[in-house]
Structure 1
Amino acid sequence: MTASAAPRPAGGADPALTSVIGRPDRPLANNSRNTELILLIVSLVVVSGMSLAVQGSVLGEISLSALALPGLLALVFLGAHLAVRVLAPYADPLLLPAVATINGISVVFIRRLDLGRLTPDERIAAGVLGGEGSEALKQYIWAVVAILGFVALLAVVRDHRTLARFGYIALFTGLILVLLPAVLPSSLSEINGAKLWIIIPGIGQIQPGEFAKIALLLYFARILVDNRDFLQIVGKFSTLKATPRFLFDAYAPMVSAWLVSLGVLMFEKDLGTSLLYFGLFLVMIYIATNKARWVAIGLVMFMIGAYAAYLVVSRVQLRVEVWLHPFDDPFDKGYQIVQSLLALGSGGLFGAGPGAGSPNILSLYASTDFVFAAIGEEIGLFGLTALLVLYALIASRGIRAGLDVRDSYGKLLAGGLAFSITLQTFVIVGGVTKLIPLTGLTTPFLAYGGSSLIANWLIIGLLIRISDAGRRPAKVKAPPLQLRDAPTEVVRL
């Protein structure tokens, strides 16, 4: 008995064995991850160069010990890359390197602030990371924790659409996180006049609002998907003819978001967080409906609420007064914003150089609220522009992930997540440059603090998960086996 198989079609592989057909416009997974690895190496070179420059300026010498901190950062960033390579192989290759660059610069610059506070003898005893009490050491530990959370999210959430099931749970969780600092005693929640924290004596503080924004984004995406068609027709009918039920259903989401934001402004005394929450809802409702009237209505509502809060909340009045007239009291109320403007002005176009500025006399909050101004003194306008370009890259690639994915929930969620980083960056940069009143928000990935760092790495994890779904080649059923393509068998008796 002999057997012979019919030749395969000239087109290539046997159609019966082809179960996945990729899109020709989508990159291969390995190509994307290799690009990500190359860009990650470039980012680590930038961070290493900054660390060497800081050591040369602050310590007056350059040694290999300056590479210890970038080396430790390389371990966690490359670990994140390996996790993405395994868990989200088709994700956008630009997101992780952009975030790693900003986070790496943050840790190196905070180390520079640590060195500036020490005497020469203390610097020698402190070691590479500054020893116990070093903010750089703490920030590195928070970076490790944040990336572990990033990896865990990718491992647990294998399909972003499953998050839509937890929309109302996310709402309940978000409201608890938002309102908890407001109901706690001031001794356990208030720092510098803003009730945004949960203070754990002997351990530290947590800013629950950073995690609340993620929970609220999950809820906003769910409710806007469910009501998108209804929201699109609101406004086409005369409000005089509309029933009370229609008006309630139409404007309840907007009014609810407005009340939450107003509550944050009134009881937690923070304009920035209130603007962040309401701004995110406005952007997402615009993405869902493509109707500018919702943005106009929302802006009017926010201005009314902000003016009402200005009349009754003394902290908001102080913020506005300092914003309008910082030089009226440059050594007390206006000290921080005046020093911020002087630091940015002295930095000029090219800056004093990493480690050559005077950020420690800028403000007590050079590593937190005013980190953008502090680092701007040393890297100048061009360096700050490069940082802002990285933030713009993160935002654009996040929006691109939303455009690539096919489901409405993913589009809305990606748009909201990307805009959350953009709006938060705008609010804090606008504050330190006197464009808008100063707020208590932190610069994503750049400012010192564990809550912000962990929350924003989780946002990047969600964007990478959505990007992987959008860029993954489409799976289609194998074409039916044709008789002419089937293997034949000849049996001789």
Structure 2
Amino acid sequence: MSTQLTASIPRLKRIRPSQRMRNVELALLLAASAINLAALMLVQLGALGSIDLGPLSLCGLLAVLVLAIHIAMRFVAPQADALILPIATLLNGLGIAEIYRIDIALGNTGWDSLAFKQIAWSALALGGAFAVIMLIRQHRVLQRYTYVAGLIGVVLLLLPMVPGLGIELNGARVWIQIGTLTFQPGEIAKVALAIFFAGYLVQARDTLSMVGRTFLGMRFPRGRDLGPILVIWALSMGVIVFERDLGTGLLFFGLFLVMLYVATGRLSWVMLGLGLVAIGAVLANQFLPYVHDRFLNWTNAFSPAIYDENGGSYQLVQGLFGLAHGGLIGTGLGQGMPYITPVSQSDYIIASLGEELGLIGVFAILCLYLLLVGRGLRIGFAGHDDFSKLLAVGLAFVIALQVFIVVGGVTRVIPLTGLTTPFLAAGGSSLVANWMIAALLLRLSDSIRNEPRLVVGQ
């Protein structure tokens, strides 16, 4: 009787964890794509009073590309994190919607508008992410090319200094121009340097963490071991001095300092790094006029003389007024005035979104970044080897530090530096680099979960 009863009960098919993760990712991707299309429609209704199917269809094509990455991951990275791709997709789409809104206000709705360029760059960036996931089947291969990655990173940083190739825009010489195409090689350099720092610190960790003298309860390195941090500090100062790019210099030095601390666990390295940052800030403020002006705009933003000065605090104050105008719930997409703030599509995209989505919208966006960075750190902590840990933490910290520097500058917590907000701001080179970071984190999460763990007693 019991055998017959058991046989009559239908057997439920057990879903594997990898399939469950991909199913969750698919549901979140569909939700993110729906939110992006809804945001674009709200922009059109708020700013135009009608719906234009052209931009909607182009964003629909981006959703198809994202789904193509999802399908590929079911075969080549089934254990990858389920949240990274939907978060990046949602942020990318919200950025396109706000850039399109500002284009409408400025009368730039043709194929040469920033919104259409952003869509084209998004497609290219998604293609790059797809290539990273398909070509890099095991992330440890990157460790073999540690010094090649370092060389590539340094060359990319120096490219804007090449006569006839580098150009100066908005006071900074961080761009190169090939024909009609302009590109910021420093954005790709941050990925290459993260790989180099991870590989180098794995090799030098014992020397940097175990040797030195103890002072005030902390073990400080020997003078001969200070070379790496001094070289990176000098390179960062060189970027600030010769390329007039304060944000990139801070980003690279902060990246190396955090990865050095993770590799060694020594607080003394952080203290030395902060000391070098303080020395660099004092020297730059004293001898570099554009750095001095940024500090002056930060500390005296509402001074009438500085506000009206050419290159003064007008942009900063307008961004603050825009955030205040948005209030708690915002004016609504397409109904604010974010276009009043200079370069509101790139440097001040957070202020633009804050005006139309309000404080609640800004908090939601920051929560998305927090979740994205948290997933990256979790991938690093789950790594079974030092290279995996350092690379994942470094890539996650790149995004975290960029968001902190940009949002801190827009809200007047720290001086403005000119970095772009990951996935949101207008800029093709930034989009390509950040989608590469997302793809590498996806590959890392899949590889780490597929590696066998050593169990005690076996």
Is the pair's TM-score, using the shorter chain for normalization, greater than 0.5? yes
Q: Deviations over 1:469-489 (max 9, x none)?
A: 12226399xxxxxxxxxxxxx
Pair 1:292–1:264, CA change in 2 (3 A): same
What is the alpha-carbon distance in structure 2 between the residues aligned to residue 373 and residue 142 of structure 1?
Answer: 22
**Contact 1:69–1:108 at 8 Å: present in 2 too?**
no
Q: Deviations over 1:144-168 (max 9, x none)?
A: 1101111111111111111011111
Unaligned runs of 5+ in 1: 1-25, 123-129, 477-493
Which of these residues, 256, 259, 264, is aligned with residue 234 of structure 2? 259
Match of 1:116 in 2: 105
Match of 1:43 in 2: 32
Q: 3-state SS of the aligned residue for 1:189?
A: strand
Report the Cα offset of residue 398 of structure 1: 0.6
Query: What is the one-letter code of the residue matched to 2:82?
Result: P
Report the Cα offset of residue 99 of structure 1: 0.4
Match of 1:382 in 2: 360
Match of 1:392 in 2: 370
**Contact 1:33–1:89 at 8 Å: present in 2 too?**
yes
Match of 1:461 in 2: 439
User: In the TM superposition, what are the counterparts of 1:33-432 in structure 2 within 5 Å?
Assistant: 33-62=22-51, 67-118=56-107, 130-184=109-163, 188-201=166-179, 203-236=180-213, 247-248=223-224, 250-328=225-303, 329-331=306-308, 332=310, 333-363=312-342, 365-432=343-410
Q: 3-state SS of the aligned residue for 2:307?
A: coil
Report the Cα offset of residue 70 of structure 1: 3.8
* Structure possessing the higher radius of gyration over alpha carbons: 1
CA RMSD of aligned residues (A): 2.2
Q: Deviations over 1:352-383 (max 9, x none)?
A: 000000112222x1111111111111000100
Report the Cα offset of residue 62 of structure 1: 4.7
Query: What is the one-letter code of the residue matched to 2:186?
Result: G
**Contact 1:55–1:66 at 8 Å: present in 2 too?**
no
Q: Deviations over 1:69-89 (max 9, x none)?
A: 442231121122112222211
Match of 2:9 in 1: none
User: In the TM superposition, what are the counterparts of 1:436-475 in structure 2 within 5 Å?
Assistant: 436-472=414-450, 474=452
Q: 3-state SS of the aligned residue for 2:177?
A: strand
Q: Once structures 1 and 2 are overlaid, which stretch shifts more, 320-329 or 30-39? A: 320-329
**Contact 2:18–2:79 at 8 Å: present in 1 too?**
yes
What is the alpha-carbon distance in structure 2 between the residues aligned to residue 72 and residue 113 of structure 1?
Answer: 22
What is the alpha-carbon distance in structure 2 between the residues aligned to residue 401 and residue 184 of structure 1?
Answer: 42
Report the Cα offset of residue 235 of structure 1: 3.2
User: In the TM superposition, what are the counterparts of 1:1-40 in structure 2 within 5 Å?
Assistant: 28-40=17-29
Query: What is the one-letter code of the residue matched to 1:39?
Result: L
**Contact 2:166–2:174 at 8 Å: present in 1 too?**
no
**Contact 2:315–2:341 at 8 Å: present in 1 too?**
yes
**Contact 2:377–2:393 at 8 Å: present in 1 too?**
yes
**Contact 2:80–2:446 at 8 Å: present in 1 too?**
yes
**Contact 2:98–2:352 at 8 Å: present in 1 too?**
no
**Contact 1:403–1:411 at 8 Å: present in 2 too?**
yes
What is the alpha-carbon distance in structure 1 between the residues aligned to residue 423 and residue 102 of structure 2?
Answer: 17
Q: Deviations over 1:426-473 (max 9, x none)?
A: 111111111111112110000011100001100111111110012226
Query: What is the one-letter code of the residue matched to 1:197?
Result: W
Q: 3-state SS of the aligned residue for 1:197?
A: strand
Q: 3-state SS of the aligned residue for 2:64?
A: helix
Report the Cα offset of residue 272 of structure 1: 1.1
**Contact 2:176–2:182 at 8 Å: present in 1 too?**
yes
Report the Cα offset of residue 64 of structure 1: 6.1
Q: Once structures 1 and 2 are overlaid, which stretch shifts more, 317-326 or 346-355? A: 317-326
Pair 1:159–1:117, CA change in 2 (3 A): same
Pair 1:27–1:255, CA change in 2 (3 A): farther
**Contact 1:188–1:200 at 8 Å: present in 2 too?**
no
Unaligned runs of 5+ in 2: 1-14
Query: What is the one-letter code of the residue matched to 2:192?
Result: A
Q: Deviations over 1:395-445 (max 9, x none)?
A: 000111112221110100000000000001111111111111111211000
Q: Once structures 1 and 2 are overlaid, which stretch shifts more, 465-474 or 39-48? A: 465-474
Report the Cα offset of residue 204 of structure 1: 3.0
What is the alpha-carbon distance in structure 2 between the residues aligned to residue 275 and residue 105 of structure 1?
Answer: 27
What is the alpha-carbon distance in structure 2 between the residues aligned to residue 36 and residue 422 of structure 1?
Answer: 23
Match of 1:481 in 2: none
What is the alpha-carbon distance in structure 1 between the residues aligned to residue 333 and residue 297 of structure 2?
Answer: 30
Query: What is the one-letter code of the residue matched to 2:319?
Result: S
Greater RCO, 1 or 2 (C-alpha within 8 Å, sep 6+): 1
What is the alpha-carbon distance in structure 2 between the residues aligned to residue 135 and residue 189 of structure 1?
Answer: 20
Query: What is the one-letter code of the residue matched to 2:30?
Result: I
**Contact 1:350–1:383 at 8 Å: present in 2 too?**
yes
What is the alpha-carbon distance in structure 1 between the residues aligned to residue 250 and residue 282 of structure 2?
Answer: 13
Q: Deviations over 1:288-343 (max 9, x none)?
A: 11111111110101110221122111111111111111222323411100100000
**Contact 2:125–2:436 at 8 Å: present in 1 too?**
yes
**Contact 1:150–1:457 at 8 Å: present in 2 too?**
yes
Query: What is the one-letter code of the residue matched to 2:322?
Result: A
**Contact 2:422–2:430 at 8 Å: present in 1 too?**
yes
TM-score using structure 2 length: 0.90
Report the Cα offset of residue 137 of structure 1: 1.2
**Contact 2:132–2:439 at 8 Å: present in 1 too?**
yes
Query: What is the one-letter code of the residue matched to 1:191?
Result: L
